Amino acid sequence: MGAHPHASVPQTGSASFGGLPAEPGIGEEIFALAAEIYPICRSITGDGVRETLAHLARHIGLTVHEVPTGTRVFDWTIPREWVIRDAYIKNAAGERVLDFRVSNLHVLNYSAPVCARLPLAELKQHIFTLPDQPDLVPYRTSYYAERWGFCMAHNRLADLPDGLYEIVIDAGFRDGSLTYGEYLHRGETDEEFLLSAHICHPSLANDNCSGLALLAHLAKRLAGLRTRYSYRFLFAPGTIGAIAWLARNEHLVPRIRHGLVVSCVGDAGGPTYKKSRRGDAAIDRIMTHVLRHASPAPNILDFFPYGYDERQYCSPGFDLPVGLFQRSQFATFPEYHTSADNLDFIRPEHLAASYRMLATALDIVESDALLRNTMPRCEPQLGRRGLYAAIGGDSAGPQASMALLWVLNLADGRHSLLDIAERANLPFLIVREAAQRLQEKGLLVPVDACAAGEARPL
């Protein structure tokens, strides 16, 4: 379940995320950081990743790790660093008809260098377009097969006249390292919640400037809170970065109790949650609960072995309880992996809503507990204890009243607060607040306090 049987329900001073009022301006702050890192040309290796981590490090105390080229990480080998300085296609008049300086999507990511003059017919064999989206530039990569290429709008390519074109991709490869960043917020225990975002995509705002910026601000918020769990934030290149982290940190893997991969969290779609390989992990229950109370039509998916780095964490040798949180599901929205995934596609209000959903999930992880009703024979009289009066006239009064009754009925030492919230079909935070009120009045005690005959304060 994820509940801690010996825990009281935390109050202010312990971790509290979704239970607090929405942070003013949090969406704007996340958007500003996403906009800051949007122009950077990133790949699976190289200085673009380092520059992006430097931006994130202004908000949190990142530790940057370098894994040398040629290092074996399970069945993979850390590749060389990609270095790109410029790229263009020039027509006979010497005009740039395609320019890397205008958009880093114009170059096949991880492209080999080239310098040549080619006829248009031959050049076209090295240009990627989207005929069904003729005004957009696609994002394409060639990480593990050396080739050169460009990406451009299909309509722009169709407008090019026959003739010779000068082509330059001023790029290269060097022995160096793969770079990833890590931030650990230490809690009261060594049990960990892993939050992971891929950092390899270039100028794609939703995928994944949004995820990087959101997690950086969530980590920044955590820094001022006392928590039960430790929280590990990982900013690593997709696939090879997660594989490298797992290969270098197998001793830490047994500590991971919950995990989320976060991407595409800035658009208006979804929300979407893809379950872990286990399908019934605590994080699967928690995220399903959160999304169902955040949206009238959330997209809850069973695990499948394709997508982002959840498939590495959920590989059978690890089988970690790690799911994927997104707004629109990857590869289902027309802007995906195109130049339309720009800063106009993501909005502060959607980033703020995604932040609140993640914050609520962390609240549940921190607050879930097993409690016992101290007066289980019939209902205690709530009115004379001021419990009904305290919520009279409140617009949430009926829901809060039902939460009191549900908690009293199911707080038998076997049902956690999340169990109660699911059974009652009420948001966890309302159930938690009801439990806090009841415990303050001596009507609930933690299960360990029952044995000792005393209740601990909230």
In a domain, 9, yes or no: no
**What's the total number of domains in the chain?**
3
Contact by Cβ (8 Å): 289, 364: yes
pTM as predicted: 0.92
Residues 96 and 189 in one domain: no
Measured from the Cβ of residue 271, the count of other Cβ atoms closer than 10 Å reads: 24
Three-state DSSP at 139 gives: coil
Note the pLDDT tens digit of each residue in 395-449. 456 788 899 999 999 999 999 999 999 999 999 999 999 999 999 999 999 886 4
Residues 147 and 202 in one domain: no
User: How far is 135 from 138, CA to CA, in rounded Å?
Assistant: 10
Note the pLDDT tens digit of each residue in 364-402. 999 999 999 999 999 888 888 888 754 444 545 678 889
In a domain, 247, yes or no: yes
Q: How far is CA 203 from the centre of its chain?
A: 18
Contact by Cβ (8 Å): 321, 285: no
pLDDT of 74 reads 98
Contact by Cβ (8 Å): 195, 232: yes
Task: Mark out the alpha helices in 300-415 (DSSP H runs).
Answer: 310-313, 348-367, 397-410
Angle at 186 between CA 239 and CA 316, to 5 degrees: 35
CATH number at residue 136: 3.50.30.90
In a domain, 201, yes or no: yes
Please report, for residues 138, 181, 244, 262, the alpha-carbon distance to residue 249 in angstroms, rounded to integers and kept in the order given: 35, 14, 9, 20
Residues 121 and 253 in one domain: no
User: How far is 309 from 240, CA to CA, in rounded Å?
Assistant: 9
Q: What is the CA radius of gyration of the chain?
A: 26
pLDDT of 455 reads 38
Contact by Cβ (8 Å): 307, 238: no
Q: Of the candidates 174, 208, 228, which is a domain's last residue? A: 174
Q: Of the candidates 174, 209, 224, which is a domain's last residue? A: 174
On the CB side of 250, how many CA atoms lie within 13 Å of its CA?
A: 5
pLDDT of 453 reads 37
Residues 422 and 440 in one domain: yes
Residues 277 and 333 in one domain: yes
Amino acid (1-letter code) at residue 425: N
Which range marks the domain in which residue 427 is found?
370-452
In a domain, 21, yes or no: no
Residues 319 and 263 in one domain: yes
Please report, for residues 27, 115, 372, 380, the alpha-carbon distance to residue 360 in angstroms, rounded to integers and kept in the order given: 16, 53, 24, 30
On the CB side of 205, how many CA atoms lie within 13 Å of its CA?
A: 23
Residues 185 and 221 in one domain: yes
In a domain, 458, yes or no: no
In a domain, 14, yes or no: no
Structure-block tokens of residue 282:
């605590």
| Mean pLDDT for back-to-back runs of 10 residues, the chain (458 residues) | 54 46 85 98 98 98 98 98 98 97 97 98 98 98 95 98 98 98 97 98 97 98 94 98 98 98 98 98 98 96 97 98 98 97 98 97 95 92 76 62 94 96 96 94 80 38
Structure-block tokens of residue 285:
């229950």
Q: Of the candidates 125, 151, 174, which is a domain's last residue? A: 174
**What is the 8-class DSSP label of residue 16?**
-
Residues 105 and 210 in one domain: no
pLDDT of 306 reads 96
**What is the 8-class DSSP label of residue 240?**
H
Burial classification of residue 316, based on how many CB atoms lie within 10 Å of its CB (0-12 exposed, 13-18 middle, 19 or more buried): exposed
User: How far is 297 from 435, CA to CA, in rounded Å?
Assistant: 28
Q: Put the strands of the sheet holding 412-416 in their side by side order.
A: 412-416, 370-373, 444-446
Three-state DSSP at 251 gives: coil
User: How far is 145 from 219, CA to CA, in rounded Å?
Assistant: 36
Residues 350 and 420 in one domain: no
Contact by Cβ (8 Å): 10, 16: yes
Residues 194 and 216 in one domain: yes
In a domain, 11, yes or no: no
Q: Quick one: residue 222, left, alpha or beta (phi over 0 = left, psi -120 to 50 = alpha)?
A: alpha
Residues 298 and 351 in one domain: yes
Residues 401 and 259 in one domain: no
Q: Put the strands of the sheet holding 164-174 in their side by side order.
A: 96-99, 81-90, 164-174, 114-119
Residue with tokens 């040549």: 116
CATH number at residue 376: 1.10.10.10
In a domain, 119, yes or no: yes
Contact by Cβ (8 Å): 418, 293: no
Residue with tokens 């958007």: 31
Q: Where are the beta strands (DSSP E) in 280-352?
A: 299-301, 322-326
Phi, psi angle pair for 263, to nearest 5°: -160, 160
